[in-house]
Chains A and B, each alone.
Chain A
Amino acid sequence: MRFCPHAHRARLVLRAKGIRHEVININLRNKPEWFFTKHPFGQIPVLENSKCQLIYDSAIACEYLDDAYPGRKLYPCDPYERARQKMLLELFYKILGYQNTIFFGGDCISMIDYLFWPWFERLDVYGVADCVNHTPALQLWIAAMKQDPTVRALLIDKNIFLGFLDLYFQDNPDAFDYGLSC
């Protein structure tokens, strides 16, 4: 599904390694029955090769692609460096899993939510949209944050931000003043 961050992982790796592939998008709110023969719970992403081998769960699929296909290796070769990357991924899941209330600190917005938000606001500009089945807690959090008056007051305009980024990546010193009218 075009907006699912988990499936996005697999598409990134496919592209980064230049692996020829075809994409079949699944309607996650109205799944075709046949899809359950590909994944027991109908989740994406799922890889299927010409030998009818199925691989799922996004991190497993990504590692499979790195192992199975030639070219640039995305995971490092050194066993310790590989382990470090996997430990970082676990850390990421722990952050997502720490959330058992709407906000990271409880039922009301607090410091930790503000400390996380700037990165998520920027990701949101690129359109990390709904993937309801996988990280509903995070989606709810993003929606709840956008309702907070403080967050709203400082929300960056998408077009201005993209304009800034454009100039910034060209090392243009005027990037920082993009969007200001003097």
Chain B
Amino acid sequence: MSGGSARSLGKGEACSPRSAVTLRRVSGPGPGGRAAPERSHAGGSAPPGQVPEGLIRVYSMRFCPFAKRTLLVLKAKGIGHEVININLKNKPEWFFKKNPFGLVPVLENSQGQVIYESAITCEYLDEAYPGKKLLPDDPYEKACQKMVFELFSKVPSLLLSFLRRQNKEDCSGLKEDLHKEFSKLEEVLTNKKTTFFGGSSLSMIDYLIWPWFEWLVALELNEYVDHTPNLKLWMAAMMKDPAVSSLFIDPKAFRGFLDLYLQNNIEACDYGL
């Protein structure tokens, strides 16, 4: 539908060419033509087409730690994929048809099958695609990875609360809580006597918990693992992993994003583009 024509409107036709053009500008190509492929899709944007054969699509957001899990697994397993970023502060309506909860990450394949919940997407990719298995075959070892995952479960919300309150209120209680959670993870590494949470090589559980520790590195908060030496060593080992290093978050962009995100600014998700 082209905007701005002089054609007269007939009976029953609404007058809205101007609004259609406006909508396109908010979420479509910027000046000069093609949009940065990473630019997020926002309210009013057109739904994307079918996923091309041979690729899997991930709906993501450049700074989302949950979506980072999925991106890490895609990278680690060398799975061909395309990324569509979603503006989480101004979500397109069509996105709720992909995931009724409106959250990223979401996987969509060329058969139109949709998978959401980050840990479920990661397990799906490991099962559906060939190559190196990230989850162990042994049922007990696999269960152990899931038990460690449960152990980690309080960290995401704690870290986010901590970042929200930093510089504002006293967050010593939160610091203590974080220390407690990190100590639980430290205990796992101490008991296992291995570098990684699944053994001597990197596996699924390491990728699942990494994105939050990446935040610590990006925000220069490494002191939080001073009391947990094995965890500190684990972080150093993770930084050497090819998937981790190639997807490492840009510290400046992350800080810029975080500032805007905590203020509920709809520009946050595209910071730095």
Contact = CB atoms under 8 A, between A and B. Distances in A.
B170 interface: no
B128 A79 contact: yes
Interface string A39-63: 0000000000101010111001101
A83 B143 CA distance: 17
25 contacts: A49-B140, A55-B147, A57-B150, A60-B147, A61-B143, A63-B142, A64-B140, A64-B143, A67-B139, A67-B143, A68-B139, A80-B113, A82-B123, A82-B124, A82-B127, A83-B120, A83-B124, A84-B115, A86-B123, A87-B115, A87-B116, A87-B117, A87-B120, A90-B120, A94-B101
Contact of B124 (A61, A63, A80): A80
Nearest to A90: B117
Interface residues of B, number: 18
A80 B150 CA distance: 23
Contacts of A79: 124, 127-128
B146 A80 contact: no
Contact of B140 (A55, A82, A90): A55
Interface of A: 49, 51, 53, 55-57, 60-61, 63-64, 67-68, 79-80, 82-84, 86-87, 90, 94
Given A57-B150, A79-B128, A80-B124, A86 B143 contact: no
Contacts of B150: 57, 60
A79 to B, nearest CB: 4
Contacts of A49: 140
Contacts of A63: 142-143, 146
A86 B116 CA distance: 10
Nearest to B140: A53
Nearest to B113: A80
A91 to B, nearest CB: 9
B183 to A, nearest CB: 12
Interface in B130-148: 139-140, 142-143, 146-147
Report whether over half of chain B's contact residues are helix, strand or loop; otherwise say mixed: helix
A55 B144 CA distance: 7
A80 B147 contact: no
Nearest to A68: B139
Report whether over half of chain A's contact residues are helix, strand or loop; otherwise say mixed: helix
Contacts of B128: 79-80
B147 A56 contact: yes
A87 B117 CA distance: 7
B151 to A, nearest CB: 9
A176 B65 CA distance: 54
B115 A80 contact: yes
Given A61-B143, A67-B139, A87-B116, 13 more contacts: A51-B140, A55-B147, A56-B147, A57-B150, A60-B143, A82-B124, A83-B120, A83-B124, A86-B123, A87-B117, A87-B120, A90-B117, A94-B101
Contacts of A67: 139, 142-143
Counting from the closest, the 10 A-B pairs by CB-CB distance are A67-B139, A79-B127, A68-B139, A79-B128, A64-B143, A83-B124, A83-B115, A60-B146, A55-B143, A86-B120
Contacts of B101: 94
A146 to B, nearest CB: 31
A54 to B, nearest CB: 9
Contacts of B143: 55, 60-61, 63-64, 67
Contacts of B123: 82-83, 86
B117 A86 contact: yes
A82 B127 CA distance: 10
Contacts of A51: 140
